[in-house]
Structure 1
Amino acid sequence: MKTESATDMMTTQISLKDIRNYIAKHHHQPLTIDHLAFISGLSSSYFGEAFKKEFGQSATDYLTELRIGHAKQLLRDTDLLLRDIASKVGYSDEFYFSRKFKKEVGVSPSSYSKIARRRISTFSVSTTGNLLALGIIPVAAPLNAKWSPYYYNHYQDKIHVPLNIFDAESEDNFRKLASAKPDIHIFQEGPSLSMLHWLESIGVKHVTIKAKDWKTQLTEIADAINKQSACKHFIQTYEQKALQAKLEIKRAVGKDTFAVLRLCGDQLFLYCNKGIQNVLFTDLQLHPIDAQQETCNELITLEQLLDINPNRLLFIICPDTATRNYWLALQYLDSWKELQAIKNGHVYILPSNPWFEYSAIAINRMLDETLLMLTGKNPNPFPVPVHGFLSNTEL
Structure 2
Amino acid sequence: MNPAALDRVELQDQGAAKGVYAMTARLPAPLSETPRHDPRLDEVRRFMEDHFDQPLTTQQLAELVHISPKYLAELFKKAYSRSITEHLTDLRISRAKRYLSESRYRLREIARLVGYSDEFYLSRKFKQVVGVPPTAYAERPKQRIAVTSPALIGQLLPLEIVPAAAPLHAKWTPYYYHDYADQIGCHLSYPTPDGDHVADRLLHARPDAIIVSDLLSESSRRACERLAPTMTANRAADWRAGLLELAAFVDQTARAEAWLRHYDARLSRARQQIASLIGQASVTVLRVHSTGLFLYHNRPIRELLYGELGLRPQYNVEHQPNEPVTVERLAQLDADRLFVLACPESASRRFWLSLQHQRAWRSLRAVREGCVYLIHSDPWCEYSATASSRMLDELLLHLSGDCPSADPPTIHGLT
Q: When the two structures are superposed, what TM-score results if normalisation uses the length of structure 2?
A: 0.81
- The answer to whether structure 1 residue 134 and structure 2 residue 163 are counterparts is no
Match in the other structure for 1:237: 262
CA distance in 2, matches of 1:86, 1:159: 30
- The answer to whether structure 1 residue 223 and structure 2 residue 248 are counterparts is yes
- The answer to whether structure 1 residue 285 and structure 2 residue 310 are counterparts is yes
Q: How does 1:159-178 map to 2 (within 5 A)?
A: 159-170=184-195, 174-178=199-203
- The answer to whether structure 1 residue 250 and structure 2 residue 304 are counterparts is no
Q: How big is the shift at 1:189?
A: 2.7
Match in the other structure for 1:389: none
Match in the other structure for 2:122: 97
Change (3 A) 1:23 1:146: closer
Q: How big is the shift at 1:75?
A: 0.3
Contact 2:212 2:221 in 1 (8 A): no
Runs of 5+ in structure 2 lacking a partner? Answer: 1-23, 27-38, 411-415
- The answer to whether structure 1 residue 88 and structure 2 residue 113 are counterparts is yes
Q: How big is the shift at 1:257?
A: 0.8
CA distance in 2, matches of 1:334, 1:52: 61
Match in the other structure for 2:391: 366
Match in the other structure for 2:231: 207
Q: How big is the shift at 1:78?
A: 1.1
Provide the aligned C-alpha RMSD in A. 2.9
Q: Deviations over 1:12-69 (max 9, x none)?
A: 9996644443332222234445554555566666665565566654443333222211
Q: Deviations over 1:355-376 (max 9, x none)?
A: 1221111100111111121122
Change (3 A) 1:336 1:191: closer
Q: How big is the shift at 1:276?
A: 1.0
Match in the other structure for 1:8: none
Contact 2:77 2:84 in 1 (8 A): yes
Contact 2:282 2:337 in 1 (8 A): yes
Deviates most, 12-21 or 181-190: 12-21
Query: One-letter code of the match for 1:121?
Result: A
CA distance in 2, matches of 1:348, 1:94: 62
Match in the other structure for 1:352: 377
Query: One-letter code of the match for 1:305?
Result: L
Contact 1:86 1:97 in 2 (8 A): yes
Contact 2:339 2:372 in 1 (8 A): yes
Contact 1:264 1:318 in 2 (8 A): yes
Percent of aligned positions with the same letter in both sequences? 39
CA distance in 2, matches of 1:145, 1:15: 33
Contact 2:239 2:385 in 1 (8 A): yes
Deviates most, 72-81 or 50-59: 50-59
CA distance in 1, matches of 2:321, 2:108: 59
- The answer to whether structure 1 residue 119 and structure 2 residue 144 are counterparts is yes
* Matched positions, count: 375
Q: How big is the shift at 1:278?
A: 1.5
From 87, 99, 103, give the equivalent of 1:62.
Answer: 87
3-state SS in 1 of match to 2:316: helix
Match in the other structure for 1:29: 54
Query: One-letter code of the match for 1:229?
Result: A
CA distance in 2, matches of 1:19, 1:376: 59
Query: One-letter code of the match for 1:366?
Result: M
Q: How big is the shift at 1:187?
A: 1.3
Query: One-letter code of the match for 1:208?
Result: T
Q: Deviations over 1:183-228 (max 9, x none)?
A: 1111123322332343244x32221111432112212211211111
CA distance in 2, matches of 1:345, 1:383: 22
Change (3 A) 1:37 1:326: closer
Q: Deviations over 1:162-200 (max 9, x none)?
A: 221133125875554222111111112332233234324
From 174, 180, 185, give the equivalent of 2:205.
Answer: 180
CA distance in 2, matches of 1:286, 1:99: 60
Runs of 5+ in structure 1 lacking a partner? Answer: 1-10, 386-395
Identify which of structures 1 and 2 has the higher relative contact order when contacts are C-alpha pairs closer than 8 Å and 6+ apart: 1
Q: How big is the shift at 1:307?
A: 1.4
- The answer to whether structure 1 residue 377 and structure 2 residue 398 are counterparts is no
CA distance in 2, matches of 1:214, 1:133: 12
Q: When the two structures are superposed, what TM-score results if normalisation uses the length of structure 1?
A: 0.85
Query: One-letter code of the match for 2:95?
Result: H
Deviates most, 347-356 or 50-59: 50-59
Change (3 A) 1:15 1:180: closer
Match in the other structure for 1:7: none
